[in-house]
């Protein structure tokens, strides 16, 4: 990967910036292949990378909803919130360096599946809880 050094004595070279962008985009193809593989099993991932932050949004297809408790269990500092259309599990991965959100449509999540999800992230199940 090209290293772009900015100093006050030397102007930035457009070619160095272009090389750096090309390297970053070339590295993105590995991420793209991984995302394509996950999509085949009903897990859709969108990754946003910017200076100082990496965020991932995940959606689970109705056919793969059984993966949700296991995925949520893998999150660090996991939490659960209710949205207008369902629930969102949020937390971090990669030793806290990646913020991750998993959105699930309410219609795809039975009461038992919600209880399993809540248990997987270490919260006490709420019988008849808000948002059900």
Per-residue confidence (pLDDT) for residue 129, from 0 to 100: 47
Same domain, 46 and 32: no
Q: What is the DSSP string of 27-95?
A: HHHHHHHHHHHHHHTTEEEEEEEETTEEEEEEEE-GGGGGGHHHHHHT-EEEEEEE-SSEEEEEEEETT
pLDDT category of residue 111 using cuts at 50, 70 and 90: confident
Same domain, 102 and 112: yes
Same domain, 97 and 57: yes
Same domain, 50 and 35: no
pLDDT digits (tens, 9 = 90+) for 12-24: 788 888 999 999 9
pLDDT digits (tens, 9 = 90+) for 37-75: 999 999 999 999 999 999 999 999 999 999 999 999 999
Name the pairing type of β-strands 53-60 and 98-105. parallel
Domain extent at residue 104: 42-132
pLDDT category of residue 130 using cuts at 50, 70 and 90: very low
Neighbour tally for 8: CB within 10 Å: 5
Per-residue confidence (pLDDT) for residue 123, from 0 to 100: 75
Same domain, 11 and 71: no
Same domain, 11 and 61: no
Same domain, 98 and 60: yes
pLDDT > 60? residue 109: yes
Closest C-alpha among 62, 23, 63, 29 to residue 47: 29
Residue 1, SS3?
coil
Same domain, 2 and 60: no
Same domain, 67 and 132: yes
Same domain, 31 and 70: no
Name the pairing type of β-strands 86-93 and 98-105. antiparallel
* pTM for this model (two decimals): 0.77
Overall domain count for the chain: 2
pLDDT digits (tens, 9 = 90+) for 73-100: 999 999 999 999 989 999 999 999 999 9
Same domain, 17 and 77: no
Per-residue confidence (pLDDT) for residue 122, from 0 to 100: 84
Residue 100, SS3?
strand
Per-residue confidence (pLDDT) for residue 103, from 0 to 100: 92
């Amino acid at each position: 990967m090209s290293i772009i050094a900015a100093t006050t004595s030397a102007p930035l070279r457009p070619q160095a910036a272009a090389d750096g962008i090309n390297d970053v985009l070339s590295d993105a193809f590995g991420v793209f292949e991984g995302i394509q593989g996950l999509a085949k099993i009903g897990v859709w991932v969108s990754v946003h990378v910017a200076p100082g932050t990496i965020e991932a949004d995940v959606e689970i297809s109705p056919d793969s909803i059984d993966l949700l408790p296991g995925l949520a269990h893998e999150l660090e500092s996991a939490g659960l919130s209710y949205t207008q259309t369902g629930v969102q599990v949020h937390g971090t991965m990669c030793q806290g360096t990646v913020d991750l959100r998993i959105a699930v449509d309410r219609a795809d999540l039975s009461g038992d599946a919600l209880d399993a999800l809540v248990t997987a992230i270490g919260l006490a199940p709420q019988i008849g809880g808000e948002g059900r």
